[in-house]
Amino acid sequence: MPPLERHVRLFRNGRNQALRIPREFELEGEEAIIHKEGDRLIVEPIRKGKLLALLATLDPLTEPFPDIDDDLPPLDDVQL
């Protein structure tokens, strides 16, 4: 299946150049990242949950966490 293509017009919006994105190319959300590769502009949606996806690719830690409660008094000794 060939990629979707559509002819669009560029226009000025104040000091910025802009284009209307046709409905079939709409992106989810309200923000995107744009970058340039040669004379091509690439627009990518900002996807939520990226951090969780990245963390899932990391190897588990082999080092034990330190016991941070060592220096704290027992809860029975805490006065409010």
pLDDT(79) > 70: no
pLDDT(80) > 80: no
Taking the domains of the chain in order of start, what are their residue ranges?
A: 1-51
pLDDT digits (tens, 9 = 90+) for 25-73: 999 888 899 999 999 999 999 877 778 888 889 998 898 888 787 777 7
State the DSSP string of 43-76: EEE--TTHHHHHHHHSPPP-SPPP-TTTTSPPGG
Identify the pLDDT of residue 68. 81
By the 8 A CB rule, do 11 and 18 touch?
yes
Radius of gyration of the chain measured on its C-alpha atoms: 25
Name, in order, each residue with C-beta under 8 angstroms of 11's C-beta and a sequence gap of 6 or more.
Answer: 17, 18, 19, 20
